[in-house]
Structure 1
Amino acid sequence: MASKKTSVRKVTKTAVNEAQARDRQWILWDTEVKGFGLLVLPSGTKSFIYQYRLGGRGTKLRRYTIGRYGTWTPDGARDQAKRLAEQVGRGVDPIDAKRDKLAADAAAEEERHRAREMTFAKYAERWLSSGLKPGTRERTRENYEATLANHVTPSLGDKPLSEIERRDLVKVLDAVPFDQPAVRRITFAVMRMLFKWAAGRGDIDANPLEGIKAPSPANSRKRVLNDRELSLALRAAAGMEKPFGPFFDLIFATGQRRNEVAGLDWKELDRDNAEWILPAERSKNGQPHFIPLNAKAMAVLDALAGCLGDKKRNWPRKGLLFTTTGKRPISGFSRGKSRLDAAMLKIARTDAQSAGDDPEDVEIEPWRLHDARRTVATNFQKLGIRFEVTEAVLNHVSGASRSGIAEVYQQYDWRDEKKAALQAWSDHCDRILQGATDSDNVIPLRAANNSSGNSAQ
């Protein structure tokens, strides 16, 4: 004979403990709250339930599982049943309400997960790996990465992308030192690209950078080292150990960009023809760049290769010239430049003391490493070198001789002229090091060539 499927008794702790499993599930209904009961399964599992009809007799009977005994106490489950009864009284189906709440909770958790995955730091990594324009050079990507790492991520790294506001970005820009307008401008440009990409993909509703005025461009620098300062720089570099001593020497000898010299590989060099071919992937304009090696550059490279004065020995076939790890080019340019400045000042004060002057009165006007290129260009003009040749030597990408119609029709590479210009510059540096003054150490290229029986132009 089958056991009774229901029983009526106030659902208390004692009643629940005394409720035994039967061969079929059964319910102990509570005498205090209508529809509240204890469901006992044949396995012995006991759960609190609330049973109801939404709409009165004739409507479908529904059963809401409150939870297992142990997780819920009888009194706690009864209070929950009362709340469910109030919902039913208002015409709200507790099961539907529970389903909606679970869905809302799941959506909220999904949004929290998405927010965690969409922090600025993680999104910046995604943008750098897949959001840059096709053809973006690795060096450019590295510069973007450094800008974000140094100026943006420290402030926004853990913040969800969707929560970043205009004031957050203003704070980032304001944190860039006032005396670094170029850094502020590139920081703005990198953030603009990143947030424009995010908005275009629908990862954010709007670009938070909209409405923020782009920082003003940095004033063009006009700092040029005079002959006395150039002599000090060359003497100081010659006395520095490698890699930075030869590195600074080669910058002054060739007038090329800091990063291009720092990343120089022996495979780019040809000793027999005294040439350096900067490959397109390392060139700012994405085109191979031919740099003749003058006597000063050749001496620096021979010394690095350990074959100075030995014309029979060859340079290494490959490998970085300026490295401390053997795998990556040198960095830490600011520290190297500080050592160069200190060496220049020491030499200048020693010279002053030898001349009977007070060495403490000697100071050197601050200058940047990029000013070396401007110094080379300015001295080219003093040497009578054509503007187009200067542009070609420095590999300028936006000069008048390399833009517009000239860029289309002017395909001459100025190979011979560049060679003559850089050798004239090497000779000029030698004269400076020999102690000539500003007024008597400049020999125009045409005059120099005529005196040697050669024609440079």
Structure 2
Amino acid sequence: MFKLTKRSVEGFEIEGKDYLIWDREVRGFGVRIYPSGKKTYLVQYRAGRRTRRVTIGQHGVLTTDEARREAKQLLASVARGDDPSAQRQAKRHAPTVGGLCDRFLEEYVDQHCKPTTAKDYQSIIRRFIRPKLGPIAIAEVTRADVVAFHHGLRSTPYQANRAASMLSKLFNLAEDWGLRQAGSNPARRIKKFREEEKKRYLSNDEQIRLGEVLAESLEEGTESLYVVSAILLLIYTGCRLNEILTLRWGYVTSHHLELPDSKTGRRRIPLPREAYDILLDLPREEGNPYVILGDVAGQPLVNLQKPWRRIRARAGLTRPSNTRLCGSNDNLGLNCRC
């Protein structure tokens, strides 16, 4: 045994295979000399019937005195009943945020969320959470990590707030599943960014132009009866776009639309006479339960954005950037919080 010092460690000869030298002052503290010339400090101890070794650091990065102090701290923790080697291995193999996302989608979303909600969650995970936090161990994510993640999305405040809310749900589940200490959710009470809705309503002149273009498009055959009817139903009912596209004849009464599973749950929507007349004029397809038919037999129209862009351009209607078609109670709103 030697007293390990900077001079003694640097003086140890390089051999054809690695070997260990133990310190005579701190039992279990030693240095490993590799054939490459690298020298690494370590500590050895017994945990039950097993001998364990923990690497402290490389000579040159750490001084001998620094390594000895670290060895004393590790050996003190062993005396208290800890097992530093096992703890390091557990930490190295700890489940990550990416793994938590997989379990969340498989065990929670598939069981408790509607398809549209599941699609939103999948998008947030793919675009934001996995790239930034995916490789980090669940137990190691701090509030500072979440704040930095949220702040990094500040240019898209709506998405930033949705992602932060989803992280909070993820870490609540991690606590329920025993993957984090109870009450340690780092995404709880993250201050949300202010969201400004980009709604733009049509003036009277714009409504007139839109009505003319819809009539012309129908007469010329550039747009189908179902496309034109869907847009008019959005205007008259104030429904969400998906509520109109997935509307079934079984939901239609003479005075209401009875939506059993809308975004906010069961909804009864008053049906103005103009909207009811539009519905009466729509041809039905045998075996197809949907009101707004698409090109695929038995299925509804799935994309109103492309025809809406054509109609909007022809009518000379402008809109805020990054917005989509949706309905309002008395006008055509050109924006959802998308």
Contact kept? 1:278, 1:289, Cα under 8 Å: yes
Distance 1:247 1:168, change over 3 A: farther
| 1:41 paired residue number | none
For the pair 1:193 / 2:174, whether they are aligned, the reply is no
For the pair 1:375 / 2:330, whether they are aligned, the reply is yes
In the alignment, the residues of structure 1 paired with residue 298 and residue 103 of structure 2 have an alpha-carbon distance, to the nearest angstrom, of: 26
Contact kept? 1:266, 1:317, Cα under 8 Å: no
2:231 is aligned, of 233, 236, 248, to 248
In the alignment, the residues of structure 2 paired with residue 157 and residue 298 of structure 1 have an alpha-carbon distance, to the nearest angstrom, of: 52
Which structure dedicates a bigger proportion of its chain to helix?
1
2:268 is aligned, of 289, 296, 301, to 289
In the alignment, the residues of structure 2 paired with residue 257 and residue 88 of structure 1 have an alpha-carbon distance, to the nearest angstrom, of: 77
| 1:208 paired residue number | 186
**1:209-253 deviations in Å (ceiling 9; x for gaps):** 35742222x346663312222233344455253564443232123
Distance 1:343 1:183, change over 3 A: farther
Q: 3-state SS of the aligned residue for 1:372?
A: coil
| 1:153 paired residue number | 130
Contact kept? 1:278, 1:291, Cα under 8 Å: no
Contact kept? 1:255, 1:372, Cα under 8 Å: yes
| 1:277 paired residue number | 258
Contact kept? 1:176, 1:184, Cα under 8 Å: yes
**C-alpha displacement at 1:189, in angstroms?**
2.3
Structure possessing the higher radius of gyration over alpha carbons: 1
**1:366-423 deviations in Å (ceiling 9; x for gaps):** 4955663043499xxxxxxxxxxxxxxxxxxxxxxxxxxxxxxxxxxxxxxxxxxxxx
For the pair 1:224 / 2:207, whether they are aligned, the reply is no
In the alignment, the residues of structure 2 paired with residue 87 and residue 335 of structure 1 have an alpha-carbon distance, to the nearest angstrom, of: 76
Contact kept? 1:224, 1:374, Cα under 8 Å: no
Root mean square deviation, CA, Å = 4.5
Letter in 2 for 1:126: R
Q: Specify every segment of 5 or more residues in structure 1 that has no aligned partner in the other structure, as ranges.
A: 1-74, 307-314, 346-362, 379-457
TM-score, length basis structure 1: 0.45
Matches within 5 A, 1:436-451: none
Matches within 5 A, 1:330-369: 335=306, 337-345=308-316, 364=318, 366=320
| 1:261 paired residue number | 244
In the alignment, the residues of structure 2 paired with residue 236 and residue 177 of structure 1 have an alpha-carbon distance, to the nearest angstrom, of: 39
In the alignment, the residues of structure 2 paired with residue 340 and residue 261 of structure 1 have an alpha-carbon distance, to the nearest angstrom, of: 18
Relative contact order (alpha carbons < 8 A, sep ≥ 6): 1 or 2 greater?
2
**C-alpha displacement at 1:323, in angstroms?**
5.0
**1:335-358 deviations in Å (ceiling 9; x for gaps):** 55433322322xxxxxxxxxxxxx
Q: 3-state SS of the aligned residue for 2:51?
A: helix
1:318 is aligned, of 264, 271, 289, to 289
TM-score, length basis structure 2: 0.57
| 2:101 paired residue number | 124
| 2:75 paired residue number | none
Q: 3-state SS of the aligned residue for 1:101?
A: strand
| Percent of aligned positions that are identical | 18
Contact kept? 1:249, 1:300, Cα under 8 Å: no
Q: Specify every segment of 5 or more residues in structure 2 that has no aligned partner in the other structure, as ranges.
A: 1-14, 29-42, 55-82, 334-338
| 2:3 paired residue number | none
**C-alpha displacement at 1:300, in angstroms?**
5.4
Contact kept? 1:266, 1:318, Cα under 8 Å: yes
Contact kept? 2:257, 2:270, Cα under 8 Å: yes
Contact kept? 1:322, 1:329, Cα under 8 Å: yes
Letter in 2 for 1:277: E
